Amino acid sequence: MFSAEVIKARLNQEPFRPLRIIASEGLSYDIYHPDRFWIGWSDIQIGFAHPDHPDIYNKTIRITMSHVVGLEDIPAKKSSKKS
């Protein structure tokens, strides 16, 4: 189980690095922007943007803090450009 402080510290690292939240039931959620993630003492809430409006969330999910079992960095996407 991760505490709110640990998750908040990871989100506040600069520069921001996308991360994956892993829940106890095996589901994972990718976080690409810190403004779409809210931390409470007992749960976290993740907002998902609509493809047509990336600055406005379309839906949210809530995960009880006791179900957060992992935090992973999301690997950077490799450029398709050839040098």
Query: Order of strands across the sheet with 37-39?
Result: 37-39, 43-50, 53-64
Q: Is residue 81 part of a domain?
A: no
Q: What DSSP assignment string belongs to 11-79? A: HT-SS---EEEEETTS-EEEE--GGGEEE-SSEEEEEEEETTEEEEEEEEEEEEGGGEEEEEEPPPPPP
Which residue segment(s) compose the domain that 50 sits in? 4-73
In a domain, 20, yes or no: yes
Give 69's pLDDT tier (boundaries 50, 70, 90). very high
79 within domain boundaries: no
Tally the domains of the chain: 1
**Residue 78, in any domain of the structure:** no
* Structure confidence by residue, pLDDT tens digits, 74-83: 986 665 555 4
CATH of the domain at 64: 2.30.30
Per-residue pLDDT reduced to its tens digit, 9-60: 999 999 999 999 999 989 999 998 888 899 999 999 999 988 888 888 889 9
Contact criterion met (CB below 8 Å) for 30 and 74: yes
Q: Is residue 8 part of a domain?
A: yes
| Residue 21 domain flag | yes
Per-residue tokens: 11: 């989100």
